[in-house]
């Protein structure tokens, strides 16, 4: 009978402790959810600016590559490079393969085209990296899930931590 009375007397203490723990876990869960929401919003705002910047770099890189590679392709198609000083189309002259700057012009335009292409590739890689979930958010979600699992276990009556 003493064992029964002791168990009966301690049961309310265990229930109170369990209810307190459930309350603490609910509060912790709400705090972690707010932190996750805030971090997600801040990260999304920062990434939006980066996405715009990388999209502009991508467009400029592709346009620059097309601009610089066009004379190179024309050199192979037509057999000469059209050289226009100071981006003017009024005073242009043709450079044929026997001209001293023909191959230099092709090399310079190819190099500049490759640099523009490298900028575009770097922008694509940056955009790809931004599309992945942030490790910080994944960690916060895992912590939130652990707290939720503890709360579910206590509410089911298992009392397991």
Residues 33-86 have pLDDT tens digits of: 999 999 999 998 888 989 999 999 999 999 999 999 988 888 888 888 877 777
CATH number, domain of 37, equals: 1.10.287
Range of the domain at 65: 2-156
The answer as to whether 48 is a domain residue is yes
Is residue 161 assigned to a domain?
Answer: no
Q: Is residue 147 part of a domain?
A: yes
Most confident of 2-11, 13-22, 63-72, 100-109: 63-72
Q: What is the pLDDT, as a whole number, of residue 149?
A: 92
* Domains contained in the chain, number: 1
pTM, whole model, 2 decimals?
A: 0.63
Could you give the percent of the chain with pLDDT greater than 90? Answer: 37
Q: Are 25 and 154 in contact (CB under 8 A)?
A: yes
Confirm whether 55 is domain-assigned: yes
Q: Per-residue pLDDT tens for 100-116?
A: 788 888 899 999 999 99
Judge whether 40 lies within some domain: yes
Asked if residue 148 belongs to a domain, the reply is: yes
């Amino acid at each position: 009978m003493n064992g029964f009375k002791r168990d009966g007397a301690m049961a309310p203490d265990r229930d109170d402790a369990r209810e307190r723990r459930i309350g603490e876990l609910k509060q912790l869960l709400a705090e972690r959810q707010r932190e996750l929401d805030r971090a997600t919003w801040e990260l999304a705002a920062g990434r939006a600016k980066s996405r715009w910047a990388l999209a502009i770099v991508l467009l400029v890189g592709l346009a620059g590559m097309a601009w610089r590679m066009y004379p190179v392709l024309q050199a192979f198609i037509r057999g000469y490079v059209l050289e226009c000083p100071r981006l003017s189309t009024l005073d242009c002259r043709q450079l044929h393969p026997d001209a001293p700057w023909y191959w230099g012009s092709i090399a310079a335009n190819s190099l500049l085209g490759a640099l523009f292409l490298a900028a575009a590739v770097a922008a694509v890689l940056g955009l790809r990296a931004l599309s992945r979930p942030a490790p910080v958010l994944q960690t916060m979600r895992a912590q939130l899930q652990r707290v939720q699992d503890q709360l579910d276990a206590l509410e089911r009556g298992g009392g397991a931590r």
